[in-house]
Structure 1
């Protein structure tokens, strides 16, 4: 099969790899219908995250089940499935509490499996994959693909920030996850949604998904603007969807006392001043999103055409042009690149 492999910063190749096979009785083999490039894939691409050996890229995926192990019971061959970017059994105590990304058997799809490929072996298939109500029409596939990570992550961020009726929500980050957090906040009934963005195209999409205000300032100026818009108090709910020092501290500063901060940006070298966080007096919750927790609800919302997260894909390329997709996202010419077969 063909798959994307990253050998060094900026060095993305399409290579032939062995087809996956059933290893454990809880495995499933899926033939991918679509996959995509994630903002977190840019960390090694830019050399910020060290590459020790060639990386099998990709962790967002939808497709059709081709084989299942003897112990797989919730999906069957021929099902169209959406999977989380974190493998989980969905039965352990932590999973039952709704934090499947912290499952005792958790492992990341990226690196070890790699779903920027024609096929993939998914361990703990019953706990990781969710079947759609039927075979989706082609126009639903981008939306279902978004549920695998960016929609589920943005959804978790909005839940962690307790976005809801009567709340003002501020979203730091105008990438795919930030945009999906806006969608989620809108669906959860937020009264006002402030998108922090300097990119005209992303501002337009933010408004499509429910943003009521756009703030272009960053850092301390961004915090000041949020407070100006909220009577000096700050937002009730803030989402941090970038992962840099500036964005995280901007999110902390934009959250009102007693408010909630949901942080899902994959961070590198972020140092949080303890005394500043202490005196902020806010609730914080974040980390890798337990996407599996939300998949059944998200799939149904997409299936019923209540939400359309698929619009976040503003560039679609065949798998063999993956390197071009990486460049487009690195240069901010694309928000989210979908790869097809």
Structure 2
């Protein structure tokens, strides 16, 4: 079978690899029908250490179950399923608390942390199939597939940012980052009742989509100039909630600058830093809370899917480019160059 491998910074290739197969009685083998490139895939694209060999890529996918282990009971061969980016058993104490990304089962892991597997491929072995996979009530050629694919990561992650910020009706929210997660954080903040949603981003096509998702204001400036503009838009006080969807230190520092006293910064951008200001002068002095983390998207699928199925929302609009496997290396280049917002893969 064919799969995407990253050999080092900027070096993505589609190669022949051994076929994925059932290895454990709780596994399912999924034929990939739709996958995508994630903004977080660009972090290793910039900095991966090639020592240790290439890494299989991809953690967002929809596919058809081709085979199951003898202990799998909730899905069957032929089912169309969405595969959340974190493997979980859905029954441990943490999963029952809607924290599937901290599942206590020893086989639990992020999909791209599973050796020799990845979703940007023709097929993938998925461990803990009963807990991880969610059946979809549509055909594999449904027009809803792009939006349903966002349940595997980016829509659930944007929703997680808003949920962890405990957004309430009438509040002001600032979203930092105009990538797919940031745009879906805008949609999620609006869905939870935010009255003012300020999107901090500089790419016009993306921020225009952000306005359609519910942004009331767009701030293109960064740093102190951007902070001043957000504070001006919020009566000088800042926003009740700041959803940080970038992961770099300047974005965090911007979040600190625009959050109001008593507010919350919710981070879902994968942090590319180890230390950040949290002391008296930044968070402590004004009772500002810091929240966020990897999104337990499995916990949100049942809540978020109905609005996609009935057409109330269309998170799949974040996909502005589509390709087959052969086009994946170019897809990485285009996303890195900001020529594409998010690339849909149809193997």
TM > 0.5 fold call: yes
Residue 196 of structure 1, aligned match among 190, 197, 200: 200
Q: Which residue of 1 aligns with 2:295?
A: 289
Q: Which residue of 1 aligns with 2:111?
A: 109
CA RMSD of aligned residues (A): 1.3
Is the 8 Å Cα contact of residues 253 and 280 (structure 1) preserved in structure 2? no
Distance 1:34 1:153 in 2: 19
Query: 1:132 Cα deviation (Å)?
Result: 1.2
Query: 1:199 Cα deviation (Å)?
Result: 0.7
Q: Which residue of 2 aligns with 1:233?
A: 237
Alignment of 1:21-170 (within 5 A): 21-47=21-47, 49-52=48-51, 53-105=53-105, 106-112=108-114, 113-135=117-139, 137-170=141-174
Distance 2:308 2:78 in 1: 20
Query: Which whole-Å deviations, capped at 9, do the CAs of 1:228-253 have from their partners, x for residues lacking one?
Result: 11111111111000011110111122
Q: For residue 158 of structure 2, give the secondary structure of its aligned residue in structure 1.
A: helix
Asked if residue 261 in structure 1 is aligned to residue 265 in structure 2, the reply is yes
**Unmatched runs of 5 consecutive residues or more in structure 1:** none
Alignment of 1:213-252 (within 5 A): 213-252=217-256
Distance 2:93 2:272 in 1: 29
Query: 1:317 Cα deviation (Å)?
Result: 1.0
Q: Which residue of 2 aligns with 1:337?
A: 343
Structure 2 length as normaliser, TM-score?
0.95
Q: For residue 144 of structure 2, give the secondary structure of its aligned residue in structure 1.
A: helix
Distance 1:270 1:233 in 2: 28
Distance 2:313 2:49 in 1: 37
Q: For residue 46 of structure 1, give the secondary structure of its aligned residue in structure 2.
A: helix
Distance 1:62 1:321 in 2: 18
Distance 1:258 1:80 in 2: 44
Distance 2:326 2:286 in 1: 48
**Unmatched runs of 5 consecutive residues or more in structure 2:** none
Query: 1:300 Cα deviation (Å)?
Result: 2.1
Query: 1:270 Cα deviation (Å)?
Result: 4.6
Structure 1 length as normaliser, TM-score?
0.96
Query: 1:120 Cα deviation (Å)?
Result: 0.5
Change over 3 Å in CA distance of 1:164–1:135 after alignment to 2: farther
